[in-house]
Amino acid sequence: MPQRRLIVEAEVGLHARPAATFVQTATRSPASVTLAKGDGTPVNAKSILSVLALDVKKGDAITISTDGDGAEELLDELASIAGAP
């Protein structure tokens, strides 16, 4: 399963609007998508409540994982939403 580990650079982390955009983008893909904060347990990245519960702030390390066709493009788009350079 392809994955991307990055440091969140967005000023507000993944809260409110950025989290909603992240989830909407993940939901557009038929592939499974998970998100983990640090070395924590991955959660379903298509669930707004799960993403918000991670309480991802600027400077936190996250890991985004997905599978299926277009995985690398999806990872690029999700990383961009998280504010990764």
The answer to whether 32 and 67 are in contact (CB under 8 A) is yes
- List the structure tokens of 84: 């990764």
The amino acid that residue 71 corresponds to is: A
Is 44 catalytic? The answer is no
Secondary structure letter of residue 40 according to DSSP: S
* Selected catalytic residue, list 6, 10, 12, 15: 15
Q: Please provide residue 47's backbone torsions phi and psi, each rounded to the nearest 5 degrees.
A: -115, 115
Which residues are catalytically annotated?
A: 15
